Structure 1
Amino acid sequence: MSEALRPMTRPRLYEQVVERLRQYAGESGLGAGDRLPPERELAQRLGVSRASVKQAIVVLEVQGLVEVRHGGGTYLVRDTLDAAEPVERLVERRRRLPDVLEAREAMETKLAELAARRRTDADLEALDDALTHMAEEVADGGPGVEGDRRFHAAVTAAAHSALLADFMRSIAEQITESRNESLRQPGRPKRSLAQHQRILEAIREGNPRSAATAMRRHLRTVAEVRLLTWTPEDATNVPDAPDAPDC
């Protein structure tokens, strides 16, 4: 069948709200630290339900463009709400991320256990260097992505398991995606760095059980991302009508 005759789709309402908010931020000259109008006001002005506005805010939040402060409103993180990632790609990432995180926990917990049994002095030096690099990145205000990558690669190397290392390489792209998602969460870089230090301590002490436990706890923290609390289908299941006025 001709590609031109494939089924047509129409943008979800919350996607239209996202585009309106981007337009509003640009026309109003909003920048990093500026606050968006309250959700109720946005819903009233756009003639949509708060459900659609909430969905739009979540999209901007998981794209790293806004920060939602509990009870304090929504603030721009950058000088623009323009995003390099289309919403459809975000939806795809949301759907595959749970499988990636599940695979990481299964493999990397075992890798940490083996690393505690098999690590050499050279392995410990590589782990120390990775943590030093991440600490410097975080101290400079960065997310610590490269240091995180080096640390997990050093744990894999310290396990001295060729087959598990091959498995890790086979999902390297997906691991990078989960790493970036985790480290963009507020306060996450410092928390991850501290967890890495506990993993290293257990490996240095040669304690396989503690190393596995520390890695499992870390990877469950990695799984605590805003993206996984978002269900894109919700916006299509909620009747879109303006909210009732406050009593």
Structure 2
Amino acid sequence: MKNRRLFWRIVEKIEQAITQGEYVVGSRLPPERELAEKFDVSRPTIREAIIALEVRERVEVKTGSGVYVVNHNHDEEVDQNINAFELTQARALVEGEIAALAANSITDEELSQLHHTLVMMEDKEYIEEADQMFHHIISQSTRNGALIKVFDSLWALRASSPSIIDDYNMVCSTDNRKTMAEHTAIYQALSMHDASEARNAMHQHFNRLINVLFDKIEAQTLEEVRRKNNANRDLYSIENLVKHRS
């Protein structure tokens, strides 16, 4: 599993270009197609990067006009008080309702696209891309612009805080089979146009993610305590004290 999402590296490159004056405040970024060619990535990856840049207040997206560089007046790019648990809980609430609404409006074509992401997820190289596509397709199938905007903002937060990035990377290192099973359950509920089951399946998905986060952070904390105890044990060991005096 890659330690950093691909679109986050694109965010860094564009921010660097802005800082170096390649893209000045008030100027319009190149079209999505040109950026995809320049950074040798897919257009959906560029789309994700633009969303993250907008959340970080580096650009402004003007519908029908383009993406413009804006003046960045403050150093704190994201509310560092938001943690991975809060983000996951918020996503569960929002995406649960998105799934329920999508169950009533999703098309056969979108269901086919969802199924394709399940196939992609079998290849470990495309897990992250498939995961993003899966949730994105569901949000788009609601036909609700406000919910899509909220979804995009929450997804972008995954890459806007170093602590959230680290915590989600821990989750991504777990067994992918469980994620595939949960995505499959969501897909099946949507294919049956069962709003209640789609909501429940999405909640179950995020509930496991939260529990994995707790497990990983607990293990990390215990390891840190063990490391400090070992260091103190060496420091205060009578055996070592006597050895040094001999």
Tell me the TM-score normalized by structure 1: 0.51
1:137-152 aligned within 5 A: 137-138=123-124, 142=125, 144-152=127-135
SS in 2 for 1:171: helix
Aligned to 1:112: 99
How far apart are residue 143 of structure 1 and its match?
7.0
Q: Distance in 2 between matches of 1:214 and 1:147?
A: 18
CA separation in 2, counterparts of 1:94 and 1:191? 29
The alignment status of 1:127 with 2:110, answered yes or no, reads: no
Task: Look up the SS of the partner of 2:233 in the other structure.
Answer: coil
What does 1:9-24 align with in structure 2 at a 5 Å threshold? none
Counting only pairs closer than 5 Å after superposition, residues 219-238 of structure 1 correspond to structure 2 as: 219-223=206-210, 224-225=212-213, 226-229=215-218, 230-231=220-221
- Stretches of structure 1 that go unaligned for 5 or more consecutive residues are 1-91
For structure 2, list consecutive stretches of 5 or more residues without a partner in the other structure.
Answer: 1-78, 160-164, 239-246
Aligned-partner residue type, residue 114 of structure 2: L
TM-score between both structures, scaled by the size of structure 2: 0.51
Instruction: Indicate which of 184, 200, 204 corresponds to 1:213.
Output: 200
Residue 233 (structure 2) aligns with: 242
Any runs of at least 4 consecutive aligned residues in structure 1 with deviations exceeding 4 A, and if so which?
A: 92-95
Structure 2 Cα separation of the partners of residues 132 and 145 of structure 1: 13
Change (3 A) 1:221 1:167: same
Residue 228 of structure 1 and its aligned partner are, at CA, apart by 3.2
- Superposition deviation, residue 181 in structure 1: 3.5
Distance 1:154 1:231 in 2: 36
Secondary structure of the structure 1 residue equivalent to 2:94 = helix
Task: Tell me the matched-pair count.
Answer: 146
1:182 to 148, 151, 171: 171
> Highest relative contact order (Cα 8 Å, sep 6+), 1 or 2?
1
2:152 aligned to which of 169, 181, 192 = 169
CA shift digits 1:62-113 (9 cap, x unpaired): xxxxxxxxxxxxxxxxxxxxxxxxxxxxxx9897111111111111111111
Distance 2:81 2:181 in 1: 27
Name the counterpart of 2:86.
Answer: 99
How many Å separate the matches in 2 of 1:116 and 1:153?
Answer: 14
Distance 1:213 1:144 in 2: 23
The residue that corresponds to 1:155 in the other structure is 138
